[in-house]
Amino acid sequence: MTDFAVGPRSIKHITPAVSIDRTAEFTNDPARSTSSRAVTSFETWFGPSDAPLFGSVHLPSSGEARGAAVLCAPLGKEHITTYRGMRQLAERLSAAGLMVLRFDYRGQGDSSGDQLDPESVSNWLSSIEQAVGYVRAAGADRVSLVGLRAGALLASQVAATVGPLESVVLWDPVLSGRSYMREQRALYKMTIGDDDPADASVSILGAVFDPEGAARLESLRIAADDVASTSAPVLCLVRPEDLDSRPVRKLVETTSATLDVAPSQSAFVNPPSFVFSVPTDTVDHVALWISQHQGDATSAVAPSRSDTARVHVRPDGVEVFESIEYRGRDHLLAITTHVESRHDSDAQVVMHGTASEHRIGPVRLWVESARRIATSGVGAIRFDRRGTGDSETVAVNESTSPMSVKAREDVASIVGSLEVPTSSTVHVGMCSGSWHSAYAAQQFGAAAVVLVNTVAWSLRRKRQPVKAATVTAMDSKVASGLFVVAKRVRNAGRVAAKKIPYPVWRAMGSAGVIEVPETMLDSLLSKGVRVEVMLSPDDVAHFRTQRGEPGLQRLRSRGSDPHVDVYAEGDHSLYHRDLRGTVSNRILTTVAEVFDAKVDVPQPPVSITARAL
């Protein structure tokens, strides 16, 4: 009997996959000074049919709006960490009576296109133009433009050409592409290491660019004269340390911008861990400033909506489509990838997000893998748990816990909504997403799981471990002090644990007292699930600390054989380009073998070698 009260071990299709509006009364705190209105939101494809973009629309339920705001997101890891904050801004603005569009640039996020396109920067600028055109076509003739980090740099390039603007917000702007890329590449090298020099593509944390695209990005800078030529009011929000910098002073003087400080910006954009922080006060400040410059007159808005789009065409002409759906009782946003003739596929790959991150996977790995998989006729689905991405309204001081009861309910909800038997599913995940994959397979059944960089090796433990990242996010000296003491006690316990006979250790794992890899792997293998495990150097060390190798020997002595590969290079988060390519290859190979499907599997990077444990 399982310790998790999530539901029975086998479940029916609890909710059909349907697309619905999520409508709610969004009520601001009275002190926040923006009006409160009933709002609705939905996701849609827009733009050219041969290169569709993914967008999220927020608007008053009345169908009357005071104009529109187009939000231009950052790039790479900063896009991931700020995703919920940008969504909260959209919710604030729609509650104040505006139509709002958040969107992914071409080749980024869920939009169509290849992130290694040499014309990536031109594609991003065109994406902003298409986003502005979309809201204007909906009936919103008064448009404001908001850019965060690299989004501000990109927005500044088109501000003078997208028609009259009501206001422009440059939020923690990247003023120079050259400085930005120098910093990002140095950070990648310092924290991740070097890529194989035989591949000239350029890596930063959370993104990879074609050399031509990287060079074009480096050539950009915020042209203050172009922003000033819009004659729109400009708000420039910068970090306290940037207030007196020469580029900021020049920008403010040229544009007559309102200059203000964005506190705690580093924790928002560049958090040191998987715990993300949404600066609600700054979000409210931006929403109020835009609202005050928008005017009060309203007009009818009727944005177009498309739930399905062609996102990829294989060289032999096979077309891949993606459909936007809201699944389960809590209407979790899900995107299914399929060949149109096989929308009702006989097999499905479920891709699980990590911690607070939304559905696209590390450096867009889930998106790109899903589109390769779908060309074989096997379906794929990626989704947002509540409190991540585009599922559920953003809460003030939001904190989302992976592996919580709520998260497990969402996993069960997605599994229950699938149109295929669970025996025809493969679950894929990294870090906490790998735990969710194992949980889904153990509870409901699966053909296979691909577990990447697993750090939680127990499906029975109820207590969620307290991580350093969580304590750091508390910003409390008392909590930090207590954590230091607890860490010393834990380390002493680990030293003592080495003396515990393995049978006792395993029994403690079976009881859910500690984490023992053998117990998780055995629970999957005993249900006939094929198990593929891939571990980066840091995760190999944790696996050994939890005495994983004796467990593997015991499993193999009983005739079970999980496939466990370890790597001498790469990082836990899969920012390392070459390790990520190796992981992609394993995922695709597993799907091809399990379902006897003709999946397009590229050759893995030669610079990364696996060693089987």
| Nearest-angstrom CA–CA distance, 510 and 554 | 14
Is there a contact between 40 and 22 (Cβ–Cβ < 8 Å)?
yes
Domain boundaries defined on the chain: 36-175+226-300, 308-461+515-612, 464-514
Tell me what the mean pLDDT of segment 24-46 comes to: 61
Name the residue among 140, 182, 429 with its Cα closest to residue 298: 140
Higher pLDDT, 342 or 369: 369
Instruction: Judge whether residue 488 has pLDDT over 70.
Output: no
Look over the chain and give the mean of its residue pLDDT values, rounded to a whole number: 88
pLDDT band at 400 (very low <50, low <70, confident <90, very high): confident
List the structure tokens of 249: 């002073």
**221 pLDDT more than 70:** yes
- Give pLDDT, residue 491: 53
Three-class SS state of 426: strand
Longest dimension (CA), the chain: 75
Q: Is the pLDDT confidence value at 592 over 50? A: yes
**Phi, psi (5° rounding) for residue 41?**
-145, 155
- Interval 127-159: pLDDT, tens: 999 999 999 999 999 999 999 999 999 999 999
State how far the Cα of 134 lies from the Cα of 53, in Å rounded to an integer: 11
Q: Do 415 and 422 touch, CB atoms closer than 8 A?
A: yes
Count of CB atoms situated within 10 Å of the CB of 1: 3
Gap between the Cα atoms of 338 and 375, Å rounded: 7
Asked if pLDDT for residue 485 goes beyond 60, the answer is no
pLDDT, tens digit (0-9, with 9 covering 90-100), for 316-347:
888 999 999 999 999 999 999 998 765 567 89
Ramachandran region of residue 42, left (φ > 0), alpha (ψ -120 to 50) or beta? beta
With pLDDT > 90 as the criterion, what percentage of the chain qualifies? 73
Q: How confident is the model at residue 495 (pLDDT cuts 50, 70, 90)?
A: low
Q: Which residues contact 5 (CB under 8 A, 6 or more apart)?
A: 405
Burial of residue 387, with CB atoms counted within 10 A of its CB: 0-12 exposed, 13-18 middle, 19 or more buried: buried
Instruction: Choose between 397 and 385: higher pLDDT.
Output: 385
Is the model's pTM score more than 0.85?
Answer: yes
Predicted local distance difference test score (pLDDT) of residue 288: 96
* Residue 32 predicted with pLDDT over 50: no
pLDDT(423) > 90: yes
The C-alpha angle 351, 354, 357, rounded to 5 degrees, equals 105
pLDDT value at position 498? 65
Q: Does the pLDDT of residue 182 top 90, yes or no?
A: yes
Q: pLDDT tens-digit profile of 14-24?
A: 233 333 344 34
Q: Is the dihedral of CA 404, 444, 600, 318 positive or negative?
A: negative
Task: Give me the pLDDT at residue 607, please.
Answer: 82
**Cβ of 451: how many Cβ atoms within 10 Å?**
27
What confidence score (pLDDT) does residue 264 get?
87
What does the pLDDT read at residue 514?
A: 86
Residue written as tokens 């592409």?
177
Gap between the Cα atoms of 377 and 345, Å rounded = 7
Range in 106-110, 423-427, 457-461 the model is least confident about:
457-461
Q: How far apart are CA 363 and CA 313, in angstroms?
A: 21
Identify the CATH homologous superfamily for domain 36-175+226-300: Alpha/Beta hydrolase fold, catalytic domain (3.40.50.1820)
Structure token digits, residue 547: 């005495």
| pLDDT value for 298 | 94
Distance CA 321, CA 241 (A): 46
For residue 274, what pLDDT is reported?
A: 74
CB 357 within 8 A of CB 388: yes
Band of pLDDT at residue 478, cut at 50, 70 and 90: low
- How confident is the model at residue 315, as a pLDDT? 83
End-to-end CA distance of the chain: 31
Half-sphere exposure of 149 (CA within 13 A, CB side): 21
- Token pair of 180 as six digits: 């930005």
Query: How much is the pLDDT for 530?
Result: 97
pLDDT of residue 23: 39
Residue 33 pLDDT level (bands cut at 50, 70, 90): very low
Amino acid 472: pLDDT: 55
Q: Is the pLDDT of residue 11 over 50?
A: no
Query: Would you put residue 542 in left (φ > 0), alpha (ψ -120 to 50) or beta?
Result: alpha
* Helix then strand then coil, % of the chain, to nearest 5: 40, 20, 40
Q: Coil, strand or helix: which one is 246?
A: helix
Tokens of 406: 């709520």
Residue among 510, 333, 532, 546 at smallest CA distance from 437 = 532
Q: State mean pLDDT over 231-239.
A: 96
Residue reference for tokens 């861990």: 273
Which of these, 494, 483, 366, lies nearest to 427 by C-alpha position?
366
The count of other CB atoms within 10 Å of the CB of residue 595 is 22
* CATH 3.40.50.1820 describes domain 308-461+515-612: yes
Within 192-306, where are the H helices? 211-218, 224-228, 246-255, 265-269, 280-292
Nearest CA to 74 out of 265, 242, 235 is that of 265
